[in-house]
Amino acid sequence: MVTSYRLNANELSMDVLNAIRLLFKDKEIEINVSEAFDETEYLLASTANKEQIMASIRELEEGKGVEMTIEELQRKFIAK
């Protein structure tokens, strides 16, 4: 089982540790701590990626988006 917690370092408390302890009772666990990165900042860091994202947002704002369900999206782009 994998569980991820994302919180500010100031929010660390015994409650968090106790929740982990309860969730993984009697199991050996591994805890890795890293600084979280901002996904939006990461995606916009590349000029080409930023231009593509902004163009897509403009298209949506102009009503050029295509409405579909998750199932339709999966059939069209994933289940090939």
Query: Which residue stretches of the chain are H helix?
Result: 14-23, 39-44, 47-61, 70-77
Assigned domain for 54 exists = yes
Model pLDDT for residues 56-79, shown as the tens digit of each residue: 999 999 999 989 999 999 888 887
Q: Residues with Cβ < 8 Å from 59, sequence gap 6 or more?
A: 65
* Secondary structure of residue 35 in the 3-state scheme: coil
* Residue closest to 34 by CA, chosen among 1, 2, 7: 7
CA distance 22 to 45: 39
Model pLDDT for residues 6-20, shown as the tens digit of each residue: 899 999 999 999 999
46 is in which domain, residue-wise?
9-77
Assigned domain for 3 exists = no
Assigned domain for 4 exists = no
pLDDT at 2 over 90: no
Model pLDDT for residues 25-51, shown as the tens digit of each residue: 999 999 998 888 888 888 999 999 999
pTM value?
A: 0.47
Q: How many domains does the chain have?
A: 1
Residue 80: the pLDDT is 59
